Amino acid sequence: MKININTKKFIYLISPNKIHNKNSFYSELENLLKTKKIYFFQLRLKNYNENQIIEVGKKVRLICKKYKTKFIINDNPFIAKKLNADGCHLGQKDMKLHKTKNIPKNKIFGVTCHNSRKLIKKAINLRPAYIAIGAFFKSRTKEVKYKANIDLLKYVKRLTKIPVVTIGGINDKNYKKLLLNNANFLAISGYIWNNKKYKPQEAIEKLK
């Protein structure tokens, strides 16, 4: 499935790693989607089992649908199918476990390419809906193993018209640099959910 790059929604919001209070999380997510800045929402619960992800995902899908936000499941196309999500995001390890043929043609799938030109070229041949590259900055959400830079972003934009999602430590101080260099979407998590200065809705309002 192709995605709309001619949109004012430039944020690819990724869920917190843990949801401590489900009702508070659902309410906060709805408030964030009301800002009309979020194009994708990815449910990324690494240490949850399938039943737990499905339980949360059912509610999240309804909220995303209400605000016309693309609902993406991290890692697992089978869970994405069960939830009738809009698509699935695959990391490089996930690519070995789940063939892209398992994802229906009318669904979105994105591919992590880290900072590798080789992986980018390989991903292009799979014709994903988007390519994710990074990390561009230091991140509190996860350890940075692959450091990307603006030259890599420019390289991808020259190479393909497939939309590019940039990831890694993006916040209100550095996000404009990526947009000015034609990143289509900014994947953000920690800045929204774990911000010591701003509440989630206050944090997202800083991204204009």
- Looking at residue 94, its pLDDT comes to 63
Q: What is the pLDDT of residues 95-109, one digit of tens each?
A: 654 566 667 778 999
What is the Cα 143 distance to its own chain's centre? 17
Q: Measuring CA to CA, which residue among 55, 54, 57, 31 is closest to residue 42? A: 57
Name residues whose C-beta falls within 8 Å of residue 105's C-beta, 6 or more positions apart in sequence: 1
CA distance linking residue 187 with residue 56, whole number of Å: 21
Instruction: Count Cβ atoms below 10 Å from residue 89 Cβ, excluding itself.
Output: 29
Round to whole Å and give the CA distance between 167 and 51. Answer: 28
Give CATH for domain 11-205: 3.20.20.70
Alpha helix stretches (DSSP H) within the chain: 22-33, 50-66, 77-83, 92-97, 117-126, 150-159, 175-180, 190-193, 200-205
What is the model's pTM? 0.94
Q: Please give the pLDDT value at position 198.
A: 97
Per-residue pLDDT reduced to its tens digit, 152-197: 999 999 999 999 999 999 999 999 999 999 999 999 999 999 999 9
Domain boundaries, the chain: 11-205
